[in-house]
Structure 1
């Protein structure tokens, strides 16, 4: 009725929202009525729009999705064939160079894949913007049937740009034995050998829930036997490293058998890590994941310092190659330090805390004001709290040179005056308020010990946030009236906090104390004592709005402006 009577613009575009599983939605922009009809699998309307409305079959959405692509997404072969018969272009790619074959392979649609290859003759080796082909998508989806189909039709096993691994290597990295076996006869001898080595490494405790040392021995032994039969010796390009106790990877089957006979599970773990290093390279995120996972395994058995050693090595590699460090990775160090404190505080090595401070300093310099900045700033605060408590609890039993280095690093960090992006809160602000998330029973705020360390290292006690609040302004607004709040008040006062400093609303800290916080009010009055005549005069000048710019010196002008 609409088409025949009113003849609307059949190519009018709009935005639609698809409700997906897990309460998620997908927004698609610049869609046409035909694209929408295909998306909801309504064949009768599709036929009507094409045959009577003459709708454009190859209309592109904002991301260059086509009606044919959405038919592939729905695995509707009948719809796809109809669209092709009426002029659909099956080779149109989505932004990012994503082909319809990649989509079908990734969604595990073997029938659609065979149709695209056998009838439409699409290129099986097209690459997306990350250098990944349909074969890579098929491996990622876990479909042996599609992997075999692609290999039989000329799919090539080459490395992508994103992870620098081949589809075969990816299958081996995830312990997908059946997928690896599908490549037999479709790759070079060296690729096949290295796939066996990676499989052995994966089962060697390098990936969560996949440890199987029997399979590790099996696949690494097979790899050595293949090297011998094919006369392809192992080439080690990396020198022995301290993290590996300066031991090299096994180069012969005899060396590997000797390692097995030593019955050392740890040596076998480290052997598999060296395999990953050789095949993936120091820059690889997959190799970094192996290092992090092994460190976590050590932490689970309370070998905390060994865990830190591997984690520091991983972070050093990431910073060396300017690879993004996930904010959660840095926070994990805090968890380890806290576990060490709960077990035995003496186990925390000052060198580890110094090294962590250096890492945080570099991270802030490399990623100033990025999306993780506020999260990392709080991670730094938690680290400083651990350091402050450790120095205090050891009663001065900290090497003087180490203490100096700690203070020097903190001073360098404070000179940059890192602040939260939104509220411009400094570290001293953050450690003065209960709104800073409690991290554990040992790390919660306000914390006078942390504040004292910050002030000792140069933190300005009257530093202002975005609303011109000093740390004292935030402190007195805390709901609790615990000894921690009162102790923190003493620390700020003794460091020279100005009790009459006003924020952008003209409020002093005293005026912000909730009326029911009698303890804070009383303590504040005890600290304040008799207010100085100088402060009373300054408040009077501000309240009466007296003109003073041409009368007072610059120092006094600045003093009055605080009130």
Structure 2
């Protein structure tokens, strides 16, 4: 281990002399073993390429015969890249001479990371033009896309690297190529605000197309607030129709309200859109308004005239409601930005102390998400988590005992990369008590999400990260269970019964998280404490465990490794005696063994069993008989299967 670290640190830090002193005299087999060893997922060659140590790279490749294709893990801008080949690392970091050295040594110019990113794409990302040109001249494929379907041209457009984009277009890059979600290079220019590249793309035959959400580049620019892009595209009368111009101006106005907090700018844009709807004073393109007012928006209706617009400019709250109505009408409920801004607006109200308005808007967004999105959507999960964090804050002493929580941050989970500053507007007052109806509604919605997710996973419909989302949704439910336990002492008997019935329904779903863990397993581990950015409940939680047990949770349930909740509790250091005692009092067998043949007390290093529980009190005749059968290796043939399993677990 010490030798490996010496080699790794010398390569990482560019200490060639030290590397030579240490490796030159060693046998070839030992050298090979040392230069292929990994530290934190990276090899010496990967780190020296990443850090630009040309002489070290040359020594490792020529003298030590390091494999130029051996991939490793590296970090760029705080993000860990898995399976990055040495050439990818050098290209991403902008080390041209090392790139040349590796290519001349036989490195594959089209090798990829685990996300299918090539060295060429890495160079395009950070604008390393000379490396891009060199790799292309040595047969790099410009059309290889990453796992999201994003090509080298797309990333160059998004990052605003004009010279690289022009070069790729000149050598034949497909300007109309679509990603997995249907966006094109034009969409990337619109989102990043790269007008010059957009003009170049259009001159090169790029078409205005829609992505998977029905968004054109024009609408994408409106959502991100790039006025210059919108002005340019709306000026292309042969490419953009009248309705598209109206939608873009109205949507940009909504962005000015919510993202830029520019009410006058929004009014100007909405007036321009309104004027486009009229011809010689006659309305020719009416708005497709909602059939009935939306209570979450306080029954506000969209204005239909310039005079009505001018009336609401003095009322910021009315302008904000208009922005929500405009966005939902144009983008539709399925678009991530629709629910994101509803949630953000609610969070701003919470920051101002208007908790009821926040909850009303968040409920509306959650209802929208569960009706439209697939089960276990990260957006839906984020909404459920935000509710749990909000309820936790409202239930904390004084509402401020844990400091000023920026609720605008709790909105999370919307369009990736959407960053909105908190609005100013009044100090936050102490929150009102949590409504039993509100927390019960959210809990039931979360149970519904778990049920739907379980059906999808069992039916083979689950995708990549769904099992992780499923586990997190169960953990969010556990935090809501924990919050229930804080409410129960203050509830009338009827509502206490409703709580227990709801928790019973959750337990009855039989949902299992990561590794086959039941809700009771998860309630017994401290890992369940961390589910978001803000603390909610601390696990293991005895009140939550007691409520789960009372509502039918099996204290002897086993996960995929044969661990019972007692095993899980024993793995949380230090072991809480009250947790173990609670499980034992509920009928947990202290002598059940897991797949490794270990009872829970064998996992408690440094804590004798007698300090945790009274073994005699919790030993049954059944357990003694089962242990005797196992100890004397007696045959279990002829026993009922359930009894046979019971014996095997002892």
TM class by shorter-chain length?
A: 0.7 to 0.9
**Residue of structure 2 in register with 1:497 after alignment:** 588
Q: Secondary structure at the match of 1:498?
A: coil
Note the aligned Cα RMSD (angstroms): 4.5
Offset at 1:380?
Answer: 1.5
Offset at 1:204?
Answer: 1.2
Q: Which runs of 5+ in 2 are unaligned?
A: 1-66, 400-429, 458-466
The alignment status of 1:414 with 2:507, answered yes or no, reads: yes
The alignment status of 1:170 with 2:224, answered yes or no, reads: no
Q: How does 1:137-286 map to 2 (within 5 A)?
A: 137-151=188-202, 155-161=206-212, 163-186=213-236, 187-205=240-258, 207=259, 210-229=260-279, 231-239=283-291, 240-260=293-313, 263-286=314-337
Offset at 1:536?
Answer: 3.9
TM-score (norm 2): 0.67
The 8 Å contact of residues 504 and 551 in structure 2, kept in 1 or not, is answered as: yes
Q: Distance in 1 between matches of 2:556 and 2:647?
A: 15
**Residue of structure 1 in register with 2:478 after alignment:** 381
Moved more, 136-145 or 119-128: 119-128
The 8 Å contact of residues 156 and 162 in structure 2, kept in 1 or not, is answered as: yes
Q: Distance in 2 between matches of 1:131 and 1:531?
A: 63
The alignment status of 1:366 with 2:452, answered yes or no, reads: yes
**Residue of structure 2 in register with 1:542 after alignment:** 630
Offset at 1:277?
Answer: 0.7
Per-residue Cα deviation, 1:332-388 (whole angstroms, up to 9, x for no partner)? 222111011012796212222222223222322333462322222221211111112
Q: Distance in 1 between matches of 2:603 and 2:99?
A: 68
Per-residue Cα deviation, 1:88-147 (whole angstroms, up to 9, x for no partner)? 899866578766654543343434555666x66876545445433332222233222222
The alignment status of 1:426 with 2:518, answered yes or no, reads: yes
The 8 Å contact of residues 521 and 564 in structure 2, kept in 1 or not, is answered as: yes
User: Taking structure 1 as reference, are residues 41 and 353 closer, same or farther at Cα in structure 2, changes over 3 Å only?
Assistant: same
User: Taking structure 1 as reference, are residues 489 and 97 closer, same or farther at Cα in structure 2, changes over 3 Å only?
Assistant: closer
Q: Distance in 2 between matches of 1:529 and 1:256?
A: 76
Q: Distance in 1 between matches of 2:152 and 2:618?
A: 79
The 8 Å contact of residues 157 and 188 in structure 2, kept in 1 or not, is answered as: yes
Offset at 1:188?
Answer: 2.7
Structure label with greater radius of gyration: 1
Q: Give the total of aligned pairs.
A: 521
Q: Distance in 1 between matches of 2:136 and 2:551?
A: 73
**Residue of structure 2 in register with 1:331 after alignment:** 385
The 8 Å contact of residues 499 and 528 in structure 1, kept in 2 or not, is answered as: no
Per-residue Cα deviation, 1:470-510 (whole angstroms, up to 9, x for no partner)? 3334445654476xx32x44543443333444444555556
User: Taking structure 1 as reference, are residues 44 and 109 closer, same or farther at Cα in structure 2, changes over 3 Å only?
Assistant: closer
**Residue of structure 2 in register with 1:22 after alignment:** 77
Offset at 1:459?
Answer: 0.9
TM-score (norm 1): 0.76
Q: Distance in 2 between matches of 1:366 and 1:532?
A: 40
Q: Which runs of 5+ in 1 are unaligned?
A: 1-11, 50-54
User: Taking structure 1 as reference, are residues 330 and 64 closer, same or farther at Cα in structure 2, changes over 3 Å only?
Assistant: closer
